[in-house]
Amino acid sequence: MAMIAVRCLLIAALLAASAVQAQTVPSLEDGRTGDIAFASVTPRGPSDLVKRSPTMASATVSGRLTLPAESGRVPAVVISHGSGGILEGREHDWAARLNALGYAAFVVDSFTGRGLRSTSRDQSLLSTMANTADALAALKLLASHPRIDAGRIAVIGFSRGGQVALYTALEPVRRGMTDGDLRFAAHVALYPSCAIPYRADAVTGAPVLMLLGGADDYTPAPACFAHAEWLRARGVAVATRLYAGAHHNFDLP
């Protein structure tokens, strides 16, 4: 009987913790850090997001915000994970590196709140535009933080998240989630898929950096060089770096 009582108590505690975790915050004006749940949407594709379709399902996603040791207002980076979700040795390690360089870092988890662990074997489980919506929702949230300079928030992403870093440079996509002039100040894409890129007549104009693997046979680099030229033709400052012999996920330990 005692074991049953303990088990019931543990279940109740876990349910209570889940309920607290699901409470979203509309603003970071209180200066909080750590694990934060926030509201987003789940577009089924680019048209849903660009048109702000009223049929988009609402979503509660989460992120972990860490600040650097520096005092005063600091720049920040939204970190968007890949198809495997947040991986040991990647997203949070990048956050620590960025903190050491003086940046706030917000690691966004687009999967857990939607009941997913991975889309690696089936990308149709979730449109990449959902991750993109989350990144832009995170941008709006970070812009309200008193320690963060709203004009200096960048996005960095890996594979699927690298696509997010590129898609958020498209003006119609940005305006699908943000109003006014709020935009990412820079976009960093590691081994993104550029084989079937979304494109638009207007871009935000923020600089783009692509870090690519020369031996990547999952998201091959040549298509990204072509996309870089497309961006340059629209006045975007684009830098590409190819790591010879590097495969997909080359930054993992």
pLDDT for 186-237, tens place per residue? 999 999 999 988 999 999 999 999 999 999 999 999 999 999 999 999 999 9
Per-residue burial over 5-35, b if 16 or more Cβ lie within 10 Å, else e, is: eeeeeeeeeeeeeeeeeeebeeebeeeeeee
Distance CA 31, CA 138 (A): 15
Give percent of the chain with pLDDT exceeding 70: 91
pTM: 0.91
What's residue 197's pLDDT? 85
